Structure 1
Amino acid sequence: MRLIIMSILVKGVKDMADSNMSDNIEAYLKQILQQANEIEIRRAEIARRFNVVPSQINYVIKTRFGAENGYLVESKRGGGGYIRIVKMALRTEPDLIEEMRQSLPEIVSFRTATAVISSLYREQILTRREGELLLTMLSKEALAVGDATIQGRIRARLLQQLLNRLRFESERD
């Protein structure tokens, strides 16, 4: 199912005033994504709705809707441009796990690691316990080597290996 967002009003947007604006925009888009696996938005319209600059929308999409978060983002620039956000079905498509793996940078922050693990949990690829154990192993405390860059590289390698294994398992199913 595909939903094109032009002027959809989502109940509860005004109730989110207490939290951070980026969180509000993320919650709004995710609420719409619950109704459809794919949406198309116009950056300027969402920016007007939340009374922010369009670059704020770019920031939210880049940091919260990437492959590591379980989403595929496409954009078309120009007058009739749009941003398409597609919720990835990780379990059924090993190519999407591979895309998630390839999108990881060489140095991964704990926040990015948490986003990857959360996506895998949300897609029921990992159990809650497995996710919590992995996050413990990927934590700053567990990887304390005295150098944040080395710590990020180790975290990236561990996530790469996890995604390789999951991709292999999904190809066998």
Structure 2
Amino acid sequence: MARLSDIIEEFIKQMFNENADTDNVVFIQRNELADQFRCAPSQINYVLTTRFTYERGYLIESKRGGGGHIAIKQLEYDNSNQREEIINQSIGDTITYHNAHALLNHLFESGVIEERECEVMKIAINDRSLASADNKNKLRADILKAMIMVILS
């Protein structure tokens, strides 16, 4: 049986599929969604903060107050400058293997990179490959940015 977090994630992703013509933005109201799934609003927050991250290709914007909502924007890679900017913002100066893994999966799922490229990059940046490095996360970020930029050029 699927966990509630997985079900909520799939529900939100399905909303993107159903609203494909609306600039890749989905609007939700946390309390209404929590009522629909009979869970606490914090469960919705958990799904948003762990499953809809920048590394996974999403941007979350929250509008508070009466009629407030949460906008979930699926990032697009329209041109090489935009791709480079998003990659640099996603990776930054350092990146953990977990976040790098999520970013690579997103790039694969978005069709930006091929499965083989994704798997090779995961191996190149895993902790075992970087065992002799003093600052693995910095080296991982530098290697990852370089590999992605070569593939996208």
| TM-score with structure 2 setting the length | 0.81
Q: 2:64 aligns with which of 54, 57, 77?
A: 77
Q: Corresponding residue for 2:91?
A: 104
In 2, are the aligned partners of 1:98 and 1:163 still within 8 Å (CA)?
no
Q: How far apart are 1:166 and its partner, in Å?
A: 5.8
| Structure 2 Cα separation of the partners of residues 56 and 45 of structure 1 | 12
Q: 1:82 to 1:160 in 2, by over 3 A?
A: same
| Structure 2 Cα separation of the partners of residues 96 and 79 of structure 1 | 35
Q: Corresponding residue for 2:9?
A: 26
Q: How far apart are 1:144 and its partner, in Å?
A: 2.4
Q: Which amino acid aligns with 1:47?
A: A
| Structure 2 Cα separation of the partners of residues 50 and 105 of structure 1 | 35
| Structure 2 Cα separation of the partners of residues 34 and 92 of structure 1 | 22
Mind listing any 5+ residue stretches in structure 2 that lack a counterpart?
none
Q: 1:81 to 1:130 in 2, by over 3 A?
A: same
| Structure 2 Cα separation of the partners of residues 77 and 159 of structure 1 | 36
In 2, are the aligned partners of 1:33 and 1:39 still within 8 Å (CA)?
yes
1:161 aligns to 2:117 (yes or no): no
Q: Corresponding residue for 1:67?
A: 54
- The CA RMSD measured in Å over matched residues stands at 2.4
Q: 1:47 to 1:100 in 2, by over 3 A?
A: farther
SS at match of 1:78: coil
| Structure 2 Cα separation of the partners of residues 97 and 57 of structure 1 | 31
| Structure 2 Cα separation of the partners of residues 145 and 49 of structure 1 | 50
Q: Which amino acid aligns with 2:52?
A: F
Q: How far apart are 1:56 and its partner, in Å?
A: 2.0
Mind listing any 5+ residue stretches in structure 1 that lack a counterpart?
1-17
- Displaced runs of 4 or more, over 6 A: none
1:50 aligns to 2:50 (yes or no): no
SS at match of 1:40: strand
| TM-score with structure 1 setting the length | 0.73
Q: How far apart are 1:83 and its partner, in Å?
A: 0.7
In 2, are the aligned partners of 1:117 and 1:131 still within 8 Å (CA)?
yes
Q: How far apart are 1:135 and its partner, in Å?
A: 0.8
Q: How far apart are 1:35 and its partner, in Å?
A: 1.8
Q: Corresponding residue for 1:124?
A: 111
Identity of aligned pairs, percent? 34
How many residues in Structure 1 have an aligned counterpart in Structure 2? 149
